[in-house]
């Protein structure tokens, strides 16, 4: 399970971004995407695992199986988004065909990272988070 998630993240890192305009992301979608991510970060701040897990895509929910397992993974591997000092939305890019929200984050240790959130639209039109990967701002994508 963790190996599949890490392989997915590696593929995301190797993808070449395109502009949000090319991804066909409307202003309404952009606002909805930011709202979902913002709600998840707030859920993390309040240790509300059920709310945070509920904003993940069905594939992420299936991968982790429970909000407890999901929150354990976030606490261990995603401290910058679990307890951000700064969380500043940037552009939406397209990675591997998915609209992906870039966020400039300063984690609890004071180090800056860029968080990338690939998104998926559910059949009812709502957006869910389909993963997250962190990249130091000085690292370059291939």
- Interatomic CA distance for residues 114 and 112, integer angstroms: 7
Q: Distance from CA of residue 47 to its chain's centroid? A: 17
pLDDT digits (tens, 9 = 90+) for 95-135: 999 999 999 999 999 999 999 999 999 999 999 999 999 99
pLDDT digits (tens, 9 = 90+) for 5-48: 443 444 444 444 444 444 579 999 999 999 999 999 999 999 99
Q: What 3-state DSSP class applies to 119?
A: strand
């Amino acid at each position: 399970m963790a190996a599949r998630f890490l392989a997915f993240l590696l593929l995301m890192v190797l993808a070449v971004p395109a502009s949000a305009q090319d991804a066909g992301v409307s202003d309404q979608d952009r606002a909805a995407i930011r709202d979902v991510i913002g709600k998840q970060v707030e859920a993390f701040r309040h240790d509300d695992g059920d709310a945070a897990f509920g904003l993940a895509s069905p594939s992420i929910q299936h991968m982790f199986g429970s909000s407890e397992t999901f929150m354990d993974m976030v606490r261990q591997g995603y401290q910058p988004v679990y307890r951000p000092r700064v969380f500043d939305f940037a552009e939406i890019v397209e990675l591997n065909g998915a609209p992906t929200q870039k966020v400039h984050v300063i984690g609890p240790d004071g180090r800056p990272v860029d968080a990338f959130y690939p998104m998926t639209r559910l059949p009812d039109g709502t957006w869910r988070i389909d993963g997250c990967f962190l990249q130091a701002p000085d690292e370059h994508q291939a």
